[in-house]
Structure 1
């Protein structure tokens, strides 16, 4: 218990603690502009960096440029996974989520495309299924199959690997930039007169096309946190584990090729932390915690600590000898640590459902 408290303290120092009394409108405005929009803008910039790193690697393939491209993939993964507590608005209505991040990857069909002579372009990939583009296609091409190692040997790269990598990275960047633009500038690409979704989200009211009240926005935010807590616990972690070691399935793990799965899950819970505390990077302001504080300051603080503990418990799943989720689920102690994380996440989900969501109607 002492060790866990120290870990929580460390996370608190990194992400910051913020809890100040604020109105619902102040909470909504801050989260809209300084958490959600800021996350998507960072994500767009990160995909530009990924495209640039992929281009450099293709132009001069060596161990160093490959490592830089892999690092850029992980760098883009962080803000994307840190957005999953707010998978509403344009990311949903424009169908951007599946184009960016469908998994599992259809590896068999991808290998088939790589084996034929059809020209590889962004438009060609755009026309394929969502499980032949996006993050996990790029991941497989950069990192390999992830079975014994999380880095593809240079000798395995072909000209078509390079072409697919560049086209897929270009497409990923286009989707990410469109998503950022939808929040900052214009949420409906078919109507140039519409504002950025951040303005819509931040100004609920009778004339708002999506949110007629503060309560509607607050409910959207709390339900977003509930949904990702449930998904991480009961899909992303639990499903690959199976009922026992003999039924564990690496194919159900997100980001299995790069061994980045546990970071993905941690960033997912960080998205809860960002919405709850109003903290993203250096930006600090009121989050959902401020609403909880008006009713129960002690509960508000306990929930923040619980979120941080969940993040730490996810990281603790990692095998001591190295590896990631794909290795942990095949060991008894790794599965025990994963079960502890699942239990904590389910407790967090229950608290959000039973003690936070009802407060939305008490404003």
Structure 2
């Protein structure tokens, strides 16, 4: 009997420790802040397995505590703060297994309301430098982190490392989805958009490659059809078809495919940065010199229209494509990022990218935006656009997770989000676009 009890106890202990090894505190969220005079908006992406978020602030002058705020499970906060005040602000995520670290503190200085409108030239230049180049730079950095996490997973194939790689994938999605508000220039002409983010993909084709003897080097994968590389191939291999992949299920061929695909993704993201970099491809100059020698943009109006077309395009894609098509077709195969259940976050970040274009801000880098031009001629329209952006994000967030189930079981909430984003689209087309020649 004793000989049987010992293995039994070992088995029980092993299962307990195995269960404990899956218990992970959440990762630290990434905090974003935008300001509109004294009105300050804080937002952060949902962190996997987080149940609650805590915001902490201290005074900028001396670091003394200002306050700690329990934000529940929400992902945004809007608050009026005193003009000219300054704070260090961080956020952390919590769950039953513990707390994440606080995010890197951001310094926030609440600006005063300015009545002076910037020049169109300033808005165009800030958009190219502050929004586009910064977003692409963040994308390149996050894809490098993703590649490193996958390499670590190959060396030590544990569920903890798989979880880290999955979170790195989600983190890289954020700047990419925000960049979809400006899919022009090198991302289009160099065919980097499909290489990075083709959807839908064919799982059967991916499995056929895994089972074949096709070389899975970076050079070989870079030549694959766009549907066989990029974000969603990596997503499928990391998360599995039902979002429940375990590290033990990863084969050597899948890991080789993952590393090569992540390397290609990182290289393509870096190519975007290089194409806009003033010291390299310098498309930044092509756009920034609109109306002053640019062959692609002979007038400043042409550049402003490019900005608005990007905003309109992503609003249309979210309303009618990403949200609307799966709902009307009742087909989860049309749902982007469904393997990771990251769809709702993707859609919110698409609208946040639109907001970045409108305000001229990216993360804590601020500058003159379209909003200042609009406010100078039609303050009510500026308020309406901002309000509808917030309503659109809130309606998307209100869709219960996972989105793939909500298109069947929560159709009203999905339709409400479609309606709000369509309302935003109408404002952009009917009210903002005709204003361009006047600003």
Following superposition of structure 1 onto structure 2, how do residues 172-321 of structure 1 map, counting pairs within 5 Å? 172-185=265-278, 195-242=281-328, 247-317=329-399, 319=400
The number of residue pairs the alignment matches comes to 338
Query: Any unmatched runs of 5+ in structure 2?
Result: 1-70, 81-88, 90-105
Tell me the TM-score normalised to structure 2 length: 0.74
In structure 1, the partner of 2:245 is 152
Tell me the CA shift for residue 123 of structure 1. 2.2
Q: Are the counterparts in 1 of residues 389 and 424 from structure 2 also a CA contact under 8 Å?
A: yes
- The 1:11/1:60 distance shift into structure 2, 3 A limit, reads farther
Distance in 1 separating the partners of 2:262 and 2:164? 14
Match of 2:165, SS state, is helix
CA shift digits 1:45-88 (9 cap, x unpaired):
00000000010011101011101000100010000001111001
Report how far residue 8 of structure 1 moved.
Answer: 10
Deviation per CA, 1:213-253: give whole Å up to 9, x if none.
Answer: 111111100111001000000000111112xxxx5111110
Matches within 5 A, 1:46-85: 46-85=142-181
Of structures 1 and 2, the larger Rg is shown by 2
CA distance in 2, matches of 1:8, 1:219: 31
Per-residue deviation at 1:312? 1.3
Q: Does 1:343 align with 2:419?
A: yes
Higher strand share: 2
Equivalence for 1:126? 222
Pairwise CA distance, 1:285: 1.7
State how far apart, in whole Å, the 1-side matches of 2:284 and 2:365 are.
16
Instruction: After TM superposition, give the deviation of residue 287 of structure 1 in Å.
Output: 1.2
Counterparts of 1:299 and 1:43 in 2: how far apart (Å)?
32
Paired with 1:11 and 1:268, the residues of 2 have a C-alpha distance of 19
- In 2, Cα distance between the equivalents of 1:335 and 1:156? 34
2:158, 2:248 within 8 Å by CA — same for their partners in 1?
no
Show the counterpart of 2:207: 111
Determine which structure has greater relative contact order: mean sequence separation of CA pairs < 8 Å that are 6+ residues apart, divided by chain length. Answer: 1
Q: Distance in 1 between matches of 2:319 and 2:132?
A: 23
Q: Which moved more, 1:16-25 or 1:87-96?
A: 16-25
Alpha-carbon distance in 2 for matches of 1:279, 1:152: 37
Answer yes or no: is 1:325 the counterpart of 2:403.
yes
Determine helix, strand or coil for the equivalent of 1:85.
coil
CA contact 2:118–2:373 (8 Å) conserved in 1: yes
Residues 139 and 11 of structure 1, relative CA distance in 2, 3 Å threshold: farther
Distance in 1 (CA, whole Å) between partners of 2:412 and 2:157 is 41
Q: Which of 251, 258, 262 is equivalent to 1:165?
A: 258
Q: CA deviation at 1:119?
A: 2.3
**1:290-310 deviation line (CA, Å, top 9, x unaligned):** 121121112102211211221
| TM-score calculated relative to the size of structure 1 | 0.89
1:10 to 73, 77, 85: 77
1:335 shift after superposition? 1.1
Is 1:359 aligned to residue 426 of structure 2? no
Deviation of residue 155 (structure 1)?
Answer: 2.8
Give distance in 2, aligned partners of 1:211 and 1:116. Answer: 48
Q: C-alpha displacement at 1:9, in angstroms?
A: 7.5
Counterpart-to-counterpart distance in 2, 1:144 and 1:82: 25
**1:96-122 deviation per Cα after TM superposition (whole angstroms, max 9, x unaligned):** 000000011111111111111222112
Question: Between Structure 1 and Structure 2, which shows a larger proportion of helix residues?
Answer: 1
Q: Contact 1:215–1:360 at 8 Å: present in 2 too?
A: yes
> What is the CA RMSD across the aligned residues, in angstroms?
2.1
- How much has 1:136 moved relative to structure 2? 0.2
| Structure-2 separation of matches of 1:312 and 1:344 | 9
Runs of at least 4 residues off by over 3 Å: 6-9, 11-20
**CA shift at 1:154, angstroms?**
2.1
> Does the Cα contact within 8 Å between 1:77 and 1:264 map onto a contact in 2?
yes
Kept in 1, the 8 Å contact 2:121–2:300? The answer is yes
| Contact map agreement 2:235 2:339 (CA 8 A) in 1 | yes
